[in-house]
């Protein structure tokens, strides 16, 4: 791992690393740990009542989780290995929430052996399992908020119980003499409307009151993740983290006033998305005419006389959906390429493909780019979320090499010289 402590812009960062490793054409990533430090400061300013439990599933590389741990964050883990990674950093088990509503029994046993007692549940079967393996656990009922607000990836079909079924589930917990201490929700990853938080907090309050009325010592609300973390603004609604925080805080003050309820969250992409830039090399350029491209589900080439038959520049780069670009599966518009050509250059219709033998390994279709050549470098900002943990060994393409930088001043705020 390379650790530099300096201030440079993304374009400079990529150029600098290119110069220092001129013999390699491998794709690489630059992680700016200073960006993560700044994000945490920003969180503390905008969410003074809400303790972040960083969702390690979003990006689990060691320098990231280490700096978050050293800044005092807590963690949301989904499996035995995630819990182990956080414990290995010396983090106290009380700073972990096992926030997977479906826990493999041996993982649950591991949590019990390591005193990771805070965990979520959303169904009866999970309660029965917890009763057998870890009856002292502190349980948080995950609800699936009922609203139609827009988010990029809905989680509610698989996770959370309908708020109207919460009472039934709480009765089961009561019968089993389990210790339910709170309510959690996740509005969905990539929240696009602040109303999603407003509705979910209101619904949580109702479930909270049901629990209190049944005699549970309810004292924790977990408002999940979904907070945007990209530098490049969301073009769909332009929603910002600050707007979400404003609306969520207002709802928290309305439905959970006072200090008797501990409020936590499970932000993932907020902390890491903008911290990483990935630089890739063009390994092949191929020019094809529009009408030569076989369309999916068709064995014929397109031959539509009404459309203009234009050349398409296909660039094959050396990282793709089996590398850092997995998220284009779920959001095809999420990657914006940057290049080193002048902004005055003419732009052409282009497509960017990943390097594997899979035709699904398509990163961006129909993007305007200047004329690029094999051997040129392009780069992508906002690559820190859901990229590294999704890298697979498909085709045995090399994993991007990571380089880390941090501004000296910020670094020294965490690690006194």
Could you tell me where the beta strands, DSSP code E, fall in 299-361?
Answer: 311-317, 337-338, 348-353
Instruction: Pick one of 226, 320, 323, 355: the residue that binds ligand PLP (CB under 6 A).
Output: 226
H/E stretch holding 181: strand 179-184
Does the annotation mark 161 as catalytic?
Answer: no
CB 252 within 8 A of CB 194: no
State yes or no: residue 60 binds ligand PLP (CB under 6 A): no
Asked if residues 261 and 17 have their Cβ atoms less than 8 Å apart, the reply is no
Q: Which is nearer to ligand PLP, 152 or 313 (CB)?
A: 152
- Shortest separation between residue 276's beta carbon and ligand PLP, angstroms: 14
- Per the rule left: phi > 0, alpha: psi between -120 and 50, beta: everything else, 2 is beta
Q: Rounded to whole angstroms, how far apart are CA atoms 408 and 203?
A: 44
Q: Is residue 160 a contact residue for ligand PLP (CB under 6 A)? A: no
* 196 makes contact with ligand PLP (CB under 6 A): no
Stretch that binds ligand PLP, among 16-24, 35-43, 265-273, 300-308 (CB under 6 A): 265-273
Contacts of residue 388, defined as CB under 8 A and 6 or more positions apart, other chains included, come to: 29, 59, 60, 61, 324
Annotated catalytic residue, options 58, 123, 324, 357: 357
Which residue in 33, 55, 61, 192 binds ligand PLP (CB under 6 A)? 55
Residue (of 19, 141, 100) closest to 110 by Cα position: 100
Residue nearer to ligand PLP on the CB measure, 110 or 185 = 185
Instruction: Report 310-369 residues binding ligand PLP (CB under 6 A).
Output: none
Give 231's Cβ-side CA count (13 Å radius): 15
Interaction between residue 269 and ligand PLP (CB under 6 A): yes
How far, in whole angstroms, is CA 401 from its chain's centroid? 20
Range 176-195, binding ligand PLP (CB under 6 A) = 186, 189
Q: Which of 36, 58, 68, 316 binds ligand PLP (CB under 6 A)?
A: 58
Q: Least separation, in Å, of the C-beta of 188 and ligand PLP?
A: 8
Q: How far apart are CA 269 and CA 56, in angstroms?
A: 10
Among positions 163, 225, 320, 384, the unique one binding ligand PLP when judged by CB under 6 A: 225
Q: Which of residues 277-306 bind ligand PLP (CB under 6 A)?
A: none
- Between CA 207 and CA 164 the distance in angstroms is 8
Among 50, 56, 99, 275, which residue interacts with ligand PLP (rule: CB under 6 A)? Answer: 99
Looking up tokens 């607000």 gives 149
Choice between 127 and 155, CB closer to ligand PLP = 155
Under rule CB under 6 A, residue 97 binds ligand PLP:
no
Bridge partners of 255, per DSSP, are: none
Residue 58 or 364 with smaller CB distance to ligand PLP: 58
For the CB of residue 167, give the shortest distance to ligand PLP in the complex, in Å.
Answer: 23
Angle at 90 between CA 87 and CA 91, to 5 degrees: 65
Q: In the bound complex, what is the minimum distance in angstroms from residue 279's beta carbon to ligand PLP?
A: 24
Residues that bind ligand PLP (CB under 6 A): 55, 58, 76, 99, 155, 186, 189, 224-227, 266-270
Catalytic residues: 357
């Amino acid at each position: 791992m390379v650790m530099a402590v300096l201030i440079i812009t993304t374009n400079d960062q990529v150029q600098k690393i290119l110069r220092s490793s001129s013999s390699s054409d491998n794709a690489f990533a630059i992680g700016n740990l200073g960006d993560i430090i700044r994000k945490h400061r920003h969180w503390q300013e905008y969410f003074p009542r809400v303790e972040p439990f960083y969702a390690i599933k979003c990006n689990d590389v060691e320098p990231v989780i280490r700096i978050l741990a050293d800044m005092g964050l807590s963690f949301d883990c989904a499996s035995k290995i995630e819990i182990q990674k956080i414990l290995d950093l010396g983090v106290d088990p009380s700073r972990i929430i096992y926030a997977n509503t479906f826990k493999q029994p041996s993982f649950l046993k591991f949590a019990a052996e390591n005193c990771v007692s805070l965990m979520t549940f959303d169904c009866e079967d999970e309660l029965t399992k917890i009763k057998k393996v870890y009856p002292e656990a502190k349980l948080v009922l995950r609800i699936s908020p009922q609203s139609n607000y827009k988010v990029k990836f809905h989680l509610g079909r698989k996770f959370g119980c309908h708020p109207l079924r919460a009472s039934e589930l709480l009765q089961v917990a009561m019968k089993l003499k389990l210790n339910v201490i709170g309510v959690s929700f996740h509005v969905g990853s990539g929240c696009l409307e602040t109303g999603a938080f407003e509705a979910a907090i209101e619904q949580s309050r109702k479930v909270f009151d049901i629990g209190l009325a049944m005699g549970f010592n309810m004292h924790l609300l977990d408002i999940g993740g979904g907070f945007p973390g990209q530098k490049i603004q969301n073009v769909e609604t332009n929603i910002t983290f600050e707007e979400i925080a404003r609306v969520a805080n207002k709802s928290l003050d309305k439905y959970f006033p006072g200090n008797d309820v501990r409020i936590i969250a499970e932000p993932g992409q907020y902390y890491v998305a903008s911290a990483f830039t990935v630089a890739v090399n063009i390994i092949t350029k191929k020019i094809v005419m529009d009408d030569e491209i076989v369309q999916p589900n068709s064995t014929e080439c397109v031959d539509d006389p009404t459309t203009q038959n234009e050349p398409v520049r296909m660039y094959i780069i050396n990282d793709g959906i089996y590398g850092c670009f997995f998220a284009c599966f779920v959001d095809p518009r999420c990657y914006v390429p940057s290049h080193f050509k002048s902004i005055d250059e003419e732009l052409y219709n282009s497509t960017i493909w990943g390097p594997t033998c899979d035709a699904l390994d398509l990163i961006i279709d129909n993007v305007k780019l200047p004329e690029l050549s094999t051997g040129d470098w392009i780069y992508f900002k906002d690559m820190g979320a859901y990229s590294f943990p999704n890298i697979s060994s498909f085709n045995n393409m090399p994993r991007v090499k990571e380089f880390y930088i941090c501004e000296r001043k910020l670094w020294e705020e965490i690690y006194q010289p």
